[in-house]
Copies of this chain bind each other. A is one copy, B any other.
Amino acid sequence: MYISPGCLEKLSANEKQIIQLKAEKILHVGTVEQDKYPLSRKRLPLDSLREYPHIRPRTTMVSSITRIRSTLDFATHTFFQKYGFRHVQVPIITATDTEGFSEKFQVTTLLGKTSKEEEPVGVSDADVVSLETVKAAIKEKSGVVEQFKRSDSNRESLIVAVQDLQKTNELARQIEAREKSKPATSVKPDSLNFNDDFFGRPSYLTVSGRFHLESYACGIGNVYSFGPRFQADKTVSSKHVAEMWTVEVEMAFSQLGDAMKCAEDYFKFLCKWILDNCPEEMKFVSKRIDKTITHRLEYMTTSSYDKISYREAVEILRKVPDKAFETQLQWGVPLTAEHLSYLADDHYKRPVIIYDYPKAVKPFYVRLNEDGQTVAAFELVVPKIGTVITGNQNEERFNVLNTRITEFDLSRDQYEWYLDLRRHGTVKHSGFSLRFDLMVLLTTGLIDVRDVIPFPRSHGKANS
């Protein structure tokens, strides 16, 4: 549908609108069933729009988010191709557990065909979401509300967060009222013969593509992958759903410092690219979501980020009065969202890189440092969001890696091919993962990934 330039007219400076379209002909294209149309009412809040993922791109809010997301997507490919990285499409279906501690989805053809009759009809959310899940959600949402109360930039977000918390409280009450004990029907694996499954063995949706990417880094040099990754985590969270897109990077002949440098450059490139390429969308989100967003992105593009070890991070946090944190801090415990928030939001007031973590809190493939206690991992922590990038130098020494697989009590069979990469021509290499959906939150000022993912999938939610 083209509009010929003659039909557009610039209005005088006094008018509220700047441009006027003079229609010469009106074409009747189609109708809307007004009483059923979800967008008939004026400006639905974001959490109500989530009920209509197929209709919400028609709102100015979701269409703006989509354009920002698409621009960040292209920025990613542009950055890596510009610097000589090759894109590798790693497999989604995998028999390898690349994390060792994430819940996975199984991919199968063993369950046979289901006919239309077997689909549940009229199941409400309350039937499929457990009480534990909702209680966990209440706890997290309370935290979000507290966080917004402390900040003053984000008035509209605070209102949304409070409404969201109230709804979740209401849901918890409903479930407690209804909860009936249903018999569980999960199938015992020993009653199944996976030789008969499609792949002749149990197979899963990938949690991370970095192992597969490593094999390409060891073959052709610097590589990246950009695709969906999966975790069957039932917790309701504003930062996590079951299916999320991730950018993964592996660099041959590189060490921890190289990965940190590349991650920081890439992150700054994304911030700058959005400012340069989405001026209209940034104006919109500044007005509607977060008036400090442009300023914050500019500051993140130009400022230099402190790099501190985990040990230094713990020292800083221990100097804060105890009552500030729910989790007691001592060397060796994982840093939680409240710790990261204190460091990035309050202490440094800009992104900060934390490196050299205790070995127990990072996966087995992270390279063991000389001290035998810490590993060469890092995280890029960003104000209001938390960890956006996790990275590390990979353990390239066959014997060390082999020992760590034993320490983690992992099934060695599935890692034989990964060990091959150390058996044959191993080199020092490192990489990182960027959680793309969090990057969209960061650049829009939004707080829930379900508002920036086209069709979000989470526990009890895959309706289309």
Check if A141 is an interface residue, CB within 8 A of chain B: no
Collect the chain B residues with CB atoms within 8 Å of residue A219's CB: 55-59, 62-63, 66
Q: Which residue of B lies closest to A77 (CB)?
A: B77
B residues near A1, Cβ cutoff 8 Å? 253
Taken together as a complex, chains A and B put the C-alpha atoms of A127 and B197 apart, in Å, by 12
A196 CB contacts on chain B under 8 angstroms: 182, 184-186
B189 and A187 contact, CB distance less than 8 A: no
Instruction: Check if A198 is an interface residue, CB within 8 A of chain B.
Output: yes
Query: Which residues of chain B come closer than 8 Å to A242, judged between CB atoms?
Result: 93, 198
A303 close to chain B: CB less than 8 A: no
Contact partners of A193 in chain B: CB under 8 A: 182-183, 185
A408 at the B interface (CB under 8 A): no
- Residue numbers of A with Cβ under 8 A of B are 1, 29-33, 36-37, 53-59, 62-63, 66-67, 69-70, 73-74, 77, 81, 86-96, 103, 105-116, 118-121, 123, 127-128, 182-196, 198-203, 205, 212, 215-216, 218-220, 227-228, 230, 232, 234, 242-243, 245, 253, 396, 411, 413-414, 417-418, 420-421, 423-427, 453-455, 457, 459-464
Which residues of chain B have C-beta atoms less than 8 A from A427's C-beta?
A: 29-30
Chain B residues, Cβ within 8 Å of A118: 189-190, 194, 202
Residue among A55, A89, A191, A228 with the most chain B CB within 10 A?
A89
Q: Which residues of B contact A420 (CB under 8 A)?
A: 54-55
Q: Can you list 7 A-B contacts (CB < 8 A)?
A: A29-B425, A54-B215, A91-B243, A93-B242, A111-B189, A120-B201, A198-B242
Instruction: With a 10 A CB-CB cut-off, give which of A37, A81, A111 has the most chain B CB atoms.
Output: A111
Give the residue name and chain of the B residue nearest to A462 (CB): B199
Q: Report B-chain residues with C-beta under 8 Å of the C-beta of A59.
A: 219
A410 CB → nearest B CB, Å:
8
A411 surroundings in chain B (CB, below 8 A): 115-116, 119
Q: A107-B106, A120-B201, A128-B195 are in contact. Are A417 and B463 (CB under 8 A)?
A: yes
* B88 lies within 8 A of A66 (CB): yes
The answer to whether B454 touches A111 (Cβ under 8 A) is no
Which 3 pairs, one residue from A and one from B, show the smallest C-beta to C-beta distance?
A57-B219, A128-B200, A116-B411
Cα A193 to Cα B185 in complex, Å, equals 6
Most buried by B among A33, A86, A232: A86
Query: Contacts of A424 on B, CB cut-off 8 Å?
Result: 32-33, 36-37, 55
